[in-house]
C-alpha cells in the first residue's frame, strides 16, 4: 500500500469520552507515514451530515446512538456513505452483531473494550484497502457493462444502417426507373431539351445512389462490422454490365475500351462490394479522363486483375499511397465536374483487403492514371483440391 | 396475348410495369405480397411471372419455391427483378436450382423487360 499522508476518520458515537479516547489512541497510532485526523459526531444524523459535506477515508460507527440503534444504523450509514469504508464498534456482549454488520457491507468491526493502538490502526488500514479494492472491482464491472452496452449500440447501429440503406435505395430505385424509362422513350420521343434535363436527373440520381452507398458502407467497413459474403462471381459479366451503365451516365464524350480476356476464370468475391469497387474506379476515371478510358481484365498469377485506366492528369508519384486514405482528394483539372466524397478509393482499399485481394495505382507520375485491382480465383480459394 | 403476373410491393413500380404492358400484346396482373402472388398464380395460370425478391408476407425466393412445388404452376417461367447485384448471385446460387430463367436488375428498363418477355413467350 502506498504511504498514507493523512487519514480522515469520522467517528459517530454518542459518548464524548469515547471520542476523546479515540482521539488519543489515533494520535498514538500515527507514524512517520501516517497521520490520523479525527472528527466526531454524537448522533447518526450529525454524522451523516458530515459525510455529505466532507470526504472521509473511514467511518467508525457505534451501533447504539440516540437516533438509531443496532443494525439499522449500519444500513443507514451504508446508504449515505458512498464507498467510504465503515468499521463498526460493538460492545463485548454483542460481537455477533459485528459479524452481521459485515454481512451488511461494513468492512470490519472492533470490540470497544479491546481496542488497542495496533488493532485500531490495522483495522483502519485494512478497511481502507478493502474499500479501495471494492471500488476498483465496481469500476471494472462498470467498465464491462459499458463495453457490453457499446457492443449493443454497435449492433443497433449496424441494423439501423442496413435499414436506412435499404430504405434510401428503394425510393431511389423507383425514381431511377421512372426517369430511365422516360429517357428510353417509353412515353414517346423527347425533345432535345427534355432529353437533356431527364439525363441530368438520371445522372444525379445515379450519383446520389453511389454517395449514399459509399457513405453508409464506409462506416461499416471501417469499423470492421461489414460482413462480406464471398461467392463465385463471373467478373467478366459484372464488368460488362457496370461498364455499360457507367457509359450511359457519362457527361462527356469518352472513348471507352473494354478488354476482357476470353474465358476469364470466375473469382471469389462479394458481388455487391466488387461492383461498388469497380463503380468507384470508373467514377474516378470518368471524372479525370481527358478523352479515353480503358477497362481490362485478365487472369494473372492465381488472381484476376482488373485495370481501369484513364488519360487524365494522373497521380503524382508521392501520393500513390495517400490517395487510398479517407478524405484525400487530388486537385481537379479545370472544370472537371463534381467532386467525389473522398471515400471512393478508401472503400476500394478496404474491400480489396477484406477480399484477400489488393488495389493500387501504377506509379508512373502521370499523365494518365492506371488503377489495378486483383481478386482471388474461385478455384484457388474455395474449391476442394484438384477441381 | 401474353398473360403476365407481376409480384412487387412497390405500387409505383407496379404502375410503371402496367404502363410497359399496356396495349394488345400483354395482359398484366398485379400482386403485392408473396402470398397474394401465389394465390394469383394458381388462379390465373399466367404465361410468365415477374417477381421481386423482397416482398411482404414471404419473399420471392419462398414464392418461387412454392410455385415450383405446385403442379399447376410448376411450368410457369419466372423472371426475378432485384435491386443491384445481389440478383446475379442469388440467381446463380439458389434460384437457378428452382428453374428461374432470367433476372432483371433494378432500375427496370421497361423496353428490355418487354423484349425479354417476348423472347420467353416465344420459347
Least CA distance to A237: which residue of chain B?
B88
Which fold, A5-115?
A: Rossmann fold (3.40.50)
Q: Is the pLDDT of residue A135 over 80?
A: yes
Asked if B12's CB is within 8 angstroms of A174's CB, the reply is yes
The hierarchical CATH code for the domain A149-223 is: 1.10.287.130
Q: Is the pLDDT of residue A259 over 90?
A: yes
Domain ranges for chain A? 5-115, 149-223, 231-376
Q: Collect all residues of chain B within an 8 Å Cβ-Cβ radius of residue A237.
A: 88
How far A364 CA sits from the closest chain B CA (Å)? 34
H/E stretch holding A300 reads strand A292-300
Asked if B89's CB is within 8 angstroms of A231's CB, the reply is yes
Write the burial class of residue A79 (CB in 10 Å: 0-12 exposed, 13-18 middle, 19+ buried). exposed
Neighbours of A327 (CB within 10 A): 8
Q: Is the pLDDT of residue A282 over 90?
A: yes
Q: How far apart are CA B37 and CA A139, in angstroms?
A: 57
Mean per-residue pLDDT, A329-352: 71
* Predicted pLDDT at A358: 93
C-alpha cell at A103: 454481512
* Predicted pLDDT at B99: 59
Q: Is the pLDDT of residue A124 over 80?
A: yes
What percent of chain A has pLDDT above 70?
Answer: 91
For the stretch A294-303, pLDDT in tens is 999 999 988 9
- A180 at interface of B, judged by CB pairs closer than 8 A: yes
Beta bridge partners of B83: B106
Q: Collect all residues of chain B within an 8 Å Cβ-Cβ radius of residue A181.
A: 16, 20, 108-111
Q: Are A201 and B36 in contact (CB under 8 A)?
A: no
For testing contact with chain A, the best of B10, B53, B56, B85 (most A CBs within 10 A):
B85
Neighbours of A114 (CB within 10 A): 9
Q: Which residue has the higher pLDDT, B42 or B107?
A: B42
The number of CA neighbours under 13 Å toward the Cβ of A311 is 9
* Cα dihedral: A283, A287, A291, A292 (round 10): -30
Write the burial class of residue A381 (CB in 10 Å: 0-12 exposed, 13-18 middle, 19+ buried). middle
What percent of chain A has pLDDT above 90?
Answer: 24
Q: Collect all residues of chain A within an 8 Å Cβ-Cβ radius of residue B13.
A: 174, 177
Q: Which residue has the higher pLDDT, A98 or A339?
A: A98
Helix (H, G, I), strand (E, B) or coil at A46: helix
CA-CA-CA-CA torsion sign (A66, A72, A76, A82): positive
Q: How far apart are CA A259 and CA A112, in angstroms?
A: 95
Mean per-residue pLDDT, A270-297: 90
For the stretch A55-79, pLDDT in tens is 888 999 998 898 988 888 889 888 8
For the stretch A180-227, pLDDT in tens is 899 988 889 999 999 989 988 988 888 788 777 777 777 777 666 667
What percent of chain B has pLDDT above 90?
Answer: 52
Task: Quote the ipTM score.
Answer: 0.79
Give the DSSP per-residue string, B34-97: HHHHHHHHHHH--SEEEEESS-SSS-HHHHHHHHHHSTTTTTS-EEEEEETTHHHHHIIIIIGG
* Predicted pLDDT at B4: 96
The hierarchical CATH code for the domain A231-376 is: 3.30.565.10
Write the burial class of residue A104 (CB in 10 Å: 0-12 exposed, 13-18 middle, 19+ buried). middle
- A198 at interface of B, judged by CB pairs closer than 8 A: no
Amino acid at each position: 500500500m502506498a504511504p498514507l499522508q493523512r487519514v480522515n476518520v469520522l467517528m459517530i458515537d454518542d459518548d464524548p469520552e469515547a471520542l476523546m479516547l479515540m482521539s488519543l489512541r489515533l494520535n498514538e497510532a500515527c507514524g512517520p507515514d501516517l497521520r490520523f485526523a479525527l472528527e466526531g459526531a454524537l448522533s447518526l444524523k450529525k454524522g451523516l451530515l458530515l459525510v455529505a459535506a466532507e470526504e472521509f477515508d473511514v467511518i467508525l460507527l457505534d451501533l447504539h446512538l440516540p437516533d438509531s440503534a443496532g443494525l439499522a444504523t449500519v444500513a443507514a450509514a451504508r446508504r449515505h456513505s458512498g464507498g467510504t469504508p465503515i468499521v463498526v464498534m460493538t460492545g463485548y456482549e454483542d460481537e455477533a452483531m459485528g459479524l452481521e454488520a459485515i454481512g451488511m457491507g461494513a468492512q470490519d468491526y472492533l470490540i470497544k473494550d479491546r481496542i488497542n493502538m495496533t488493532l485500531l490502526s490495522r483495522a483502519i488500514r485494512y478497511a481502507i484497502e478493502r474499500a479501495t479494492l471494492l471500488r476498483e472491482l465496481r469500476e471494472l464491472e462498470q467498465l464491462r457493462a459499458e463495453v457490453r452496452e457499446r457492443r449493443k449500440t454497435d449492433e443497433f447501429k449496424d441494423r439501423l444502417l442496413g435499414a436506412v440503406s435499404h430504405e434510401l435505395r428503394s425510393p431511389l430505385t423507383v425514381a431511377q426507373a421512372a426517369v430511365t424509362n422516360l429517357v428510353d422513350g417509353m412515353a414517346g420521343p423527347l425533345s432535345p431539351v427534355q432529353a437533356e434535363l431527364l439525363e441530368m436527373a438520371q445522372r444525379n440520381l445515379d450519383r446520389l445512389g453511389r454517395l449514399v452507398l459509399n457513405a453508409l458502407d464506409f462506416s461499416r467497413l471501417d469499423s470492421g462490422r461489414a460482413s462480406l459474403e464471398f461467392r463465385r462471381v463471373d467478373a467478366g459479366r459484372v464488368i460488362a454490365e457496370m461498364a455499360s451503365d457507367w457509359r450511359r451516365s457519362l457527361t462527356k464524350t469518352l472513348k471507352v475500351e473494354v478488354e476482357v480476356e476470353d474465358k476469364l476464370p470466375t473469382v471469389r468475391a462479394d458481388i455487391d462490394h466488387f461492383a461498388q469497387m469497380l463503380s468507384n474506379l470508373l467514377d474516378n476515371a470518368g471524372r479525370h479522363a481527358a478523352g479515353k478510358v480503358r477497362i481490362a481484365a485478365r487472369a494473372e498469377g492465381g488472381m484476376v486483375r482488373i485495370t481501369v485506366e484513364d488519360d487524365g492528369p494522373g497521380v503524382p508519384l508521392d501520393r500513390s499511397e495517400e490517395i487510398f486514405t479517407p478524405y484525400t482528394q487530388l486537385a481537379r483539372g479545370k472544370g472537371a465536374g463534381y467532386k467525389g466524397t473522398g471515400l471512393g478509393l478508401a472503400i476500394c482499399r478496404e474491400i480489396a483487403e477484406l477480399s484477400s485481394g489488393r488495389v493500387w495505382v501504377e506509379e508512373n507520375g502521370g499523365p494518365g492514371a492506371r488503377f489495378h485491382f486483383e481478386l482471388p480465383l474461385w478455384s484457388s480459394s474455395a474449391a476442394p483440391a484438384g477441381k | 396475348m401474353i398473360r403476365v403476373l407481376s409480384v412487387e410491393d412497390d405500387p409505383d413500380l407496379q404502375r410503371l410495369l402496367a404502363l410497359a404492358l399496356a396495349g394488345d400484346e400483354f395482359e398484366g396482373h398485379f400482386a403485392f405480397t408473396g402470398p397474394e402472388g401465389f394465390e394469383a398464380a394458381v388462379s390465373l395460370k399466367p404465361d410468365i411471372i415477374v417477381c421481386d425478391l423482397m416482398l411482404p408476407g414471404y419473399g420471392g425466393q419462398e414464392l418461387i419455391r412454392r410455385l415450383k412445388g405446385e403442379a399447376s404452376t410448376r411450368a410457369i417461367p419466372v423472371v426475378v427483378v432485384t435491386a443491384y447485384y445481389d440478383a446475379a448471385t442469388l440467381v446463380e446460387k439458389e434460384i437457378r436450382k428452382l428453374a428461374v430463367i432470367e433476372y432483371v436488375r433494378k432500375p427496370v428498363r421497361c423496353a428490355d423487360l418487354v423484349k425479354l418477355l417476348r423472347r420467353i413467350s416465344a420459347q
